[in-house]
Amino acid sequence: MEHAINRAKLLVEALPYIRHFRGKKIVIKYGGHAMVDPQLKKLFAQQVILFHYIGIQVVVVHGGGPQISTVLNQMGIESSFIDGKRVTDARTMDVVEMVLAGGVNKEIVNLINTDGGRAVGLSGKDGGLIRARKLYYSRKDAQGNKFTDVDMGHVGEVTEINTDIIDAVEKAGFIAVIAPSGVGDDGLTYNINADTVAAEIARSLKVERLIILTDEKGVLDKDGKLISSMNTADIPEMISSGIVTGGMIPKLDCCIRALEGGVIKAHILDGRTPYSILLELFTDSGIGTQIIKE
């Protein structure tokens, strides 16, 4: 009986949040261990379906780096990295597109549809959804000064999001699941960081929330404790002081970009936690880090 009462309390606690989010849009960047573990994959799909059922418009943007690496290794194609970033030549880009748009994307769509949802898979090529240009990676010396721009091949950055495509999918009652590739004015396909694509889509749609799933608890302070809420004004100092390092820096940059474009809040969550998105959005305490604009 006590267990049943606790479940009922959780539903009641969620009621004001459901009321608040109903009719609004959220963008979820899906990545990390949540894309690998079978149980977490199923739970992710169920959360997306629940949001859709209660009137929250969800857009999913997914990554797929580990899956790309696996297929490249199987095909005997050696990957080249600069500062941890994959150099993408034409042959590698063919594999990237095959894995992201043809493999990972369709698996996510199938997971959602199998559990009773209605999802449609898209890539940046569909209807000119994502326009892009070549990205030159700026390498820096030990003092942080830029000293050269590196040609990363078919790695791109977003120049424009055609929101009409997403709006049409949502109006038809479907959930958009988007692979992070784009097309340039040169007609070439570009591989784009999924966090970046999620931020640009969130910014273009002026969504209520941007949610980035990671394999970290969120943003941690100097003592390694979770920061449950932070302001964009605090981020530069946290980076310069070394509190925030590594892969968390570009994720926070994406959150700033989204918030400056009109997104209300951004969240960085541990996707390894079951029901992580529900716990963050529909409970009083949340489980990750929320970022708000100063």
In a domain, 43, yes or no: yes
In a domain, 232, yes or no: yes
In a domain, 6, yes or no: no
What stretch of H or E contains 140?
strand 130-140
User: Can you say whether the dihedral through the CA atoms of 143, 144, 150, 154 is positive or negative?
Assistant: positive
Tokens 């597109």 found at: 97
In a domain, 209, yes or no: yes
In a domain, 146, yes or no: no
In a domain, 10, yes or no: no
CATH number of 277's domain? 3.40.1160.10
Q: Which two tokens stand for residue 36?
A: 């690998």
In a domain, 154, yes or no: no
Q: Which two tokens stand for residue 143?
A: 């003092």
Of 119, 228, 133, whose CA–CA distance to 179 is shortest? 119
3-class SS of residue 210:
strand
| pTM given for the model | 0.92
In a domain, 212, yes or no: yes
Count CB-CB contacts under 10 A for residue 172.
Answer: 9
pLDDT in tens, the chain (294 residues): 767 777 777 778 888 999 999 999 999 999 988 898 999 999 999 999 999 999 999 999 999 888 888 898 899 888 888 766 788 889 999 999 999 999 999 999 999 999 999 999 999 999 999 999 998 887 766 566 666 788 888 999 999 999 999 999 999 999 999 999 999 999 999 999 999 999 999 999 999 999 999 999 999 999 999 999 999 999 999 998 999 988 899 999 999 999 999 999 999 999 999 999 999 999 888 899 999 987
Report pLDDT for 142: 58
Q: How many domains does the chain have?
A: 1
Full domain range(s) for residue 218: 15-132+160-292
Q: Which two tokens stand for residue 215?
A: 């394999």
Q: Which two tokens stand for residue 26?
A: 């959220």
3-class SS of residue 276:
helix
Q: What is the largest CA-CA distance in the chain?
A: 65
Distance in angstroms (rounded) separating the CA atoms of residues 210 and 212: 7
HEC per residue, 89-114? CHHHHHHHHHHHHHHHHHHHHHHHHH
CB 47 within 8 A of CB 54: no
Of 128, 96, 69, whose CA–CA distance to 192 is shortest? 96
Angle at CA of residue 66, ends 128 and 217, nearest 5°: 95
Q: Among the residues of 54-171, which ranges form H helices?
A: 65-74, 90-97, 105-114, 163-171
